[in-house]
Amino acid sequence: MRTIHIAHLYYDILNLYGEHGNVKALKQELENQGIKVLLHLVTLDDELDIDKYDFIYIGAGTEANQEMVIEHILKYKKIIKEAINKNKFFFITGNSIELFGKYILNNDQKINTLGIFNFYTKREEFRMIDEGIMKCSFLPKPIIGFQNQNSVIKDNEFPMFEVIKGIGSYPNSETEGVKYNNFYGTYLIGPVLVRNPDLLKYIVQELVKTIDSKFKLKKFDLKENEEAYDNFVNTFYQNII
Percent of the chain with pLDDT over 90: 77
Q: Greater confidence, 164 or 143?
A: 143
Are the C-beta atoms of 87 and 181 separated by less than 8 Å?
yes
Question: For residue 130, what pLDDT is reported?
Answer: 81
Q: What is the mean pLDDT of residues 148-177?
A: 78
Residue 110 pLDDT > 70:
yes
Q: What is the mean pLDDT of residues 102-130?
A: 91
Domains of the chain listed by start with CATH number: 4-236 (3.40.50.880)
Are the C-beta atoms of 178 and 156 separated by less than 8 Å?
yes
Question: For residue 136, what pLDDT is reported?
Answer: 92
Residue 169 pLDDT > 60:
no
Vertex 35 angle, CA 207 and 22, to 5°: 55
**What are the tens digits of pLDDT across the range 181-235?**
999 999 999 999 999 999 999 999 999 999 999 999 999 999 999 999 999 998 8
CA distance 183 to 26: 16
Are the C-beta atoms of 92 and 184 separated by less than 8 Å?
yes
Question: For residue 165, what pLDDT is reported?
Answer: 58
**What are the tens digits of pLDDT across the range 185-198?**
999 999 999 999 99
Question: For residue 240, what pLDDT is reported?
Answer: 60
Cα 64 from chain centroid? 20
**What are the tens digits of pLDDT across the range 48-68?**
999 999 999 999 999 999 999
